[in-house]
Chain A
Amino acid sequence: MSEAVLHDDHHDHKPYGIGRWLFSTNHKDIGTMYLVFALIMFFVGGAMSMVIRAELFQPGIQYVDPQFYNSMVTVHALVMIFGALMPAGVGLANWMIPMMIGAPDMALPRMNNMSFWILPFAFTLLLSTFFMQGGAPAGGWTMYPPLVLQLGDGFPYLVFAVHFLGISSIMGAINIIATVFNMRAPGMSFMRLPLFVWAWIITAFLLIAAMPVLAGGVTMLLTDKYFGTAFFDAAGGGDPVMFQHIFWFFGHPEVYILVLPSFGVISQIIPTFSRKPLFGYTSMVYATASIAFLSFFVWAHHMFTVGMPLTGELFFMYATMSIAVPTGVKIFNWMATMWKGSMTFETPMLFAIGVLFMFSIGGFSGLMMGITPVDFQYHDTYFIVAHFHYVIVPGIIFGIIGGIYFWLPKWTGNMYDEKLGKLHFWLSTVSVNVLFFPMHFIGLAGMPRRIPDYNVQFADWNTIISLGGFVFGLSQLILVWVVIKCVRGGEKATDQVWEGAHGLEWTLPSPPPFHTFTTPPEVTDATAHS
């Protein structure tokens, strides 16, 4: 244990009671709060998806009326994206970035507290719409006008919730950039940063560029409804299609805002369990930056069927295809890292390999949809639902879960139950494929998305899909049990935890003291990740 760490131990004064959490400025506590909040929202959003799958278990209307079904579809997406995935990524960033770069805390700890506490407030606004005249938002998470303008009293709540979520994300992004730019330990140059940190710097810049666009778009919706403007009202000289452009100018980078932190996590896990340094570190950094840059030039592939000039279709098709190049570089590098490595398959590694395989399935179907003429067949069918769920669930959620298993022993000081972890992985992997793979078939056969009823020809696959969904949902309870069990005790974790782990965070005790690196460590090639 280094002298600096021993020094930190003497200053390990933890505040107690509710005040510790309400007024916390400690990156570890705030990270924990983000992760717990994300987990709660994951189950709230998951419960909504269970309602959707129960309704679709058989053809015909079973349990809910179509309006409520549409609300379930809409709010499920909003809760999962803004409530579960983004906060989970920020939670991991809060916990790990200061420890990885040798900083004592985030650069702006009070703002860190504020950006977390905005979230419960924003989601109270959003979820309260279920109890309002006109119900919860039901026009899809994309909030397209004029449909979204028909929403009742819940509309301004939706708009303000989105604004607050945007403010929270931007404050979090600013904090991450300031932390990495200004608070790195001596010797921790940019090209020595762990890939997880790089992924988050790039994500943070994406957030700052993309979130204001969404906020601007929904502000214009608000003024259209209540203040007599006609940004998106054709009768007043506006253009409803313009909203789609605005939304997807935010929406496509948002996909990478979600996926890049997951890529960062598996870039830490794969070298650790392959017992080899990451292959092609520099190309990984440039590939991540290229993906982020290109993500601003592909938005209209979400709206090929709306109609656009042929040159526009061609531009967006080729731009979309070009993202496959840096993504391919990353996939190649992860595989090359494993190549001839001394691999072991603990739970984090299983989840990382799951990301590699199943994100690629989502990536390939994305390439198919990027081809303009065939997208006319796929558009608004279950093929799209299959595609983005492959990207989000095994591509992003598996990455986050892998990160939780990877760092849980470091956070708690105890090893988790490996058998339960593996059971969680295999149940999740089998069920997620039963859940989402057949959606490709019914989508290609023409089953439309966002409709609570369907033709009887799709009945068998929908029953199977729903069963997969229920098993996947239930199997996530294993994660909760593993985390609770690990927090309460278990075999003690060493400081390094994993044999192949390298980097500053693994030089700290497990669990790390409340304050770490108050005296900055000296980073050398031996202690740096790369």
Chain B
Amino acid sequence: MSEKDQMSAKKELAIKNMRLAIILGLVAIGFYAVFIIFYW
């Protein structure tokens, strides 16, 4: 694999990781917010 390909694979992995982290973070924040709103 050329250096350029390696860099782009790394970047792609970083984006994938960030996307999953954001989704899971939103799920957690969603639980928290919905929970309080539910009991409001």
Tell me, yes or no, whether A427 is within 8 Å of chain B by CB. no
In the bound complex, CA of A45 to CA of B39 (Å): 34
B36 lies within 8 A of A174 (CB): no
Chain B 10-31 interface 0/1 with A at a Cβ cutoff of 8 Å (1 = within): 0001001110110011011101
In the bound complex, CA of A111 to CA of B32 (Å): 20
Determine the main DSSP class of A at the interface with B: helix
Known contacts A182-B17, A182-B20; A213/B35 CB under 8 A: yes
Tell me, yes or no, whether A178 is within 8 Å of chain B by CB. yes
Write the nearest CB–CB distance from B30 to chain A, whole angstroms.
8
A220 lies within 8 A of B39 (CB): yes
In the bound complex, CA of A108 to CA of B23 (Å): 14
B31 lies within 8 A of A183 (CB): no
* Neighbour of A107 across the interface among B17, B28, B29, B32, CB < 8 A: B17
Residues of the B chain whose Cβ atoms lie less than 8 Å from the Cβ of A178: 17, 20-21, 24
Number of A-B contacts (CB under 8 A): 54
Known contacts A212-B29, A213-B31; A177/B39 CB under 8 A: no
A183 lies within 8 A of B28 (CB): no
**Which parts of A313-349 form the interface with B (CB within 8 Å)?**
none
Known contacts A212-B31, A212-B32, A215-B32; A181/B20 CB under 8 A: yes
Tell me, yes or no, whether A47 is within 8 Å of chain B by CB. no
**Which parts of A195-229 form the interface with B (CB within 8 Å)?**
208-209, 211-213, 215-216, 219-220
Residues of the A chain whose Cβ atoms lie less than 8 Å from the Cβ of B32: 212-213, 215-216, 219
Residues of the B chain whose Cβ atoms lie less than 8 Å from the Cβ of A181: 20
Residues of the A chain whose Cβ atoms lie less than 8 Å from the Cβ of B24: 173-174, 177-178, 208
Residues of the B chain whose Cβ atoms lie less than 8 Å from the Cβ of A209: 31
Write the nearest CB–CB distance from B6 to chain A, whole angstroms.
10
In the bound complex, CA of A174 to CA of B25 (Å): 7
Q: Which one of B17, B21, B36 has the greatest number of beta carbons of chain A within 10 Å?
A: B17
* Neighbour of A182 across the interface among B13, B27, B31, B36, CB < 8 A: B13
Tell me, yes or no, whether A231 is within 8 Å of chain B by CB. yes
Residues of the B chain whose Cβ atoms lie less than 8 Å from the Cβ of A177: 20, 24
Tell me, yes or no, whether A447 is within 8 Å of chain B by CB. no
Known contacts A183-B13, A212-B31; A107/B21 CB under 8 A: yes
B28 lies within 8 A of A208 (CB): yes
A174 lies within 8 A of B39 (CB): no
In the bound complex, CA of A170 to CA of B36 (Å): 18
Residues of the B chain whose Cβ atoms lie less than 8 Å from the Cβ of A216: 31-32, 35-36
A211 lies within 8 A of B28 (CB): yes
Residues of the A chain whose Cβ atoms lie less than 8 Å from the Cβ of B28: 170, 174, 208, 211-212
Residues of the A chain whose Cβ atoms lie less than 8 Å from the Cβ of B20: 107, 174, 177-178, 181-182
Residues of the A chain whose Cβ atoms lie less than 8 Å from the Cβ of B13: 182-183
CB nearest to B30 among chain A residues:
A212
Tell me, yes or no, whether A242 is within 8 Å of chain B by CB. yes
Residues of the B chain whose Cβ atoms lie less than 8 Å from the Cβ of A242: 39
In the bound complex, CA of A256 to CA of B6 (Å): 40
Residues of the B chain whose Cβ atoms lie less than 8 Å from the Cβ of A107: 17, 20-21
Residues of the A chain whose Cβ atoms lie less than 8 Å from the Cβ of B39: 220, 231, 242
With A174-B25, A178-B24 given, name 4 new contacts (CB 8 A): A177-B24, A178-B17, A212-B28, A242-B39
Using a CB–CB cutoff of 8 Å, the interface residues on chain B facing chain A are 13, 16-18, 20-21, 24-25, 27-29, 31-32, 35-36, 39
Using a CB–CB cutoff of 8 Å, the interface residues on chain A facing chain B are 107-108, 111, 170, 173-175, 177-178, 181-183, 208-209, 211-213, 215-216, 219-220, 231, 242
A to B CB contacts below 8 Å, 6 in the list = A108-B21, A178-B20, A211-B28, A212-B31, A212-B32, A220-B36
